[in-house]
């Protein structure tokens, strides 16, 4: 077998255990089998591979593992685990089996994850939609958040538990709400021209990085330029103004966050009546009007200068259904076709130009975002880590 003289599947080396044992996992389990597959480290040097039952217990012992933690399906393998160690006179770690972690709308099986990656259903092991450590890190989830999630969940031997994905999102929000600084980004810009602001004038305003930041410290703020050309979200404007809508509409006012109230005075249509190309508005420099709606926005930093353009990647749940246990290819058919959306033409406030990989932000009214590894000095890319609790935009605009 070692010299490669036996074909795959033609022979195996088995352990001489106890064929009369009440536990089938003591029936002379396989120790080595032939596999003509290059090893990631040894290359083609070896063509025999040890089985899990033969190698796992010895590796635990050699590495002085105190507690070998396994999932419940390995409970029946405990007799074989200790049989090998006793037969070889090796140190015996303590074995503890508990239920595997199952999170809704995701898979945790390495075999299924490998298939998603190798068949290119996702963009690699660090795809932010996967619950791998690399994927979570790229999405903007910290180690502290993962530890908080695990501690809050506890340990069980119930084999039918399914943890809602929303529970992980809760812990992510709790952490980022305290650590992520605020900024403003407009995903789908709609141009607004402030007609009563003189050409060339730019007013530098202060935006708060954290809601409870000390008001007397300069580090608590970032600069937000307000100029004649402002961009708001397309969903924050409607031609009709229903009673429960607080966004901008013809003849209606809304407050620009950290800035001034503006009132829509004119709508410039495109080729058809439903195509809105531009809005004309007037701002209230005295702030005497008190509109209920508050909008996030981005303005030209200087006359005729386009705002900072960034790429935004919006992630949703990877699977449409909660549980992904079916075998074969049934689970692949349940992949969410809208689990990733790329927005290439978003506008951001100038302060975000200094962001680097790993920085995390709350984009006001949009969610929490992290700088992606695909970012370059010429183009920043942000991954949405999680949405906000608020239901902004459920009806197409702010509430």
- Structural domains for the chain: 12-70 (3.90.800.10), 99-179+308-348+355-390 (1.10.1160.10), 185-299 (2.40.240.10)
Residue with tokens 């992904």: 324
How far, in Å, CA of 96 to CA of 75, rounded? Answer: 8
CA-nearest of 170, 280, 187, 289 to 233 is: 187
Q: What is the pTM of this model?
A: 0.84
Token pair 């509409």 in the structure block, residue:
249
List the beta bridge partners of residue 361: 181, 369
Among candidate residues 249, 275, 274, 278, the one with its CA nearest the CA of residue 264:
249
Q: Which residues have a Cβ under 8 Å from the Cβ of 325 and sit 6 or more positions away?
A: 331
E strand or H helix at 299: strand 298-299
Phi, psi of 348 (to 5 degrees): -130, 155
Q: What are the residues whose beta carbons fall under 8 Å from the beta carbon of 130, sequence distance 6 or more?
A: 106, 113, 116, 122, 318
Of the CA atoms within 13 Å of residue 153, those in its CB half-sphere come to 25
Rounded Cα gap, residues 123 and 129, in angstroms: 9
Give, as one character, the DSSP assignment of residue 101: P
pLDDT at res. 330: 82
Per-residue pLDDT of the chain (399 residues; tens, 9 = 90+): 989 999 999 999 999 999 988 888 899 999 999 999 998 888 888 899 999 999 999 999 999 999 999 888 888 889 999 999 999 999 999 999 988 888 999 998 899 999 999 999 999 999 999 999 999 999 999 999 999 999 998 888 877 788 999 999 999 999 999 999 999 999 999 999 999 999 999 999 999 998 888 888 888 999 999 999 999 999 999 999 988 899 999 999 999 999 999 999 999 998 887 789 899 999 999 999 999 999 999 999 999 999 999 999 999 999 998 886 655 568 898 999 999 999 999 999 999 999 999 999 999 999 999 999 999 989 999 999 999 974 434 444 443
Cα gap 234→248, rounded to integer Å: 10
pLDDT at 326: 54
Signed CA dihedral, 132, 134, 139, 142: sign only: positive
What pLDDT is stored for residue 396 in this prediction? 42
Q: How far apart are CA 365 and CA 253, in angstroms?
A: 18
The rounded distance, in Å, linking the Cα atoms of 135 and 390 is: 25
Residues 6+ apart with CB under 8 A from 184: 207, 224, 257, 296, 297, 298, 348, 349, 363, 364
Structure tokens at 133: 């450590």
Position 328 scores a pLDDT of 59
d(CA 287, CA 142): 40
Phi then psi dihedrals of residue 126, to 5 deg: -100, 20
């Amino acid at each position: 077998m070692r010299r490669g003289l036996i074909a795959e599947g033609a022979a195996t080396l088995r352990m001489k255990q106890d064929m009369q044992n009440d536990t089938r996992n003591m029936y002379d389990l396989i120790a080595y089998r032939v596999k003509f597959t290059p090893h990631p480290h040894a290359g083609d040097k070896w063509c025999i591979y040890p089985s899990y039952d033969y190698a796992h217990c010895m590796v635990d012992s050699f590495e002085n593992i105190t507690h070998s933690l396994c999932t419940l399906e390995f409970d029946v393998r405990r007799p074989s685990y200790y049989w090998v160690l006793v037969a070889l006179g090796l140190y015996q770690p303590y074995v503890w089996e508990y239920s595997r972690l199952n999170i809704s709308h995701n898979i945790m099986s390495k075999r299924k994850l490998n298939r998603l990656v190798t068949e290119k259903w996702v963009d690699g092991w660090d795809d932010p939609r996967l619950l791998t450590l690399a994927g979570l890190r790229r999405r903007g989830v910290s180690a502290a958040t993962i530890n908080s999630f695990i501690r809050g969940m506890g340990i069980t031997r119930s084999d039918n538990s399914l943890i809602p994905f929303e529970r992980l999102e809760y812990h992510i929000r709790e952490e980022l709400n305290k650590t992520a600084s605020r900024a403003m980004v407009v995903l789908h810009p709609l141009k607004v021209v402030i007609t009563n602001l003189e050409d060339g004038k730019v007013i530098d305003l202060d935006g708060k990085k954290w809601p409870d930041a000390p008001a007397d410290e300069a580090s608590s703020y970032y600069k937000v330029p307000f100029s004649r050309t402002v961009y708001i979200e397309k969903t924050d404007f409607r031609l009709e103004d229903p009673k429960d809508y607080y966004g901008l509409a013809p003849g209606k006012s809304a407050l620009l966050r950290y800035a001034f109230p503006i009132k829509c005075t004119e709508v410039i249509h495109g080729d058809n009546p439903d195509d809105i190309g531009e809005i004309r508005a007037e701002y209230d420099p005295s702030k005497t009007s008190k509109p209920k709606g508050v909008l996030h926005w981005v303005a030209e930093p200087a006359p005729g200068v386009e705002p900072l353009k960034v790429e935004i990647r919006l992630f949703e749940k990877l699977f449409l259904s909660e549980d992904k246990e079916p075998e074969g290819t049934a689970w692949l058919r349940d992949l969410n076709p809208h689990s990733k959306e790329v927005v290439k033409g978003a506008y951001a406030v100038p302060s975000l130009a200094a962001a680097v990989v790993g920085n995390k932000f709350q984009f006001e009214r949009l969610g929490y975002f992290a700088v992606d590894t695909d970012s370059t000095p010429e183009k920043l890319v942000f991954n949405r880590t999680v949405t906000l609790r608020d239901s902004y935009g459920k009806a197409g605009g702010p509430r």
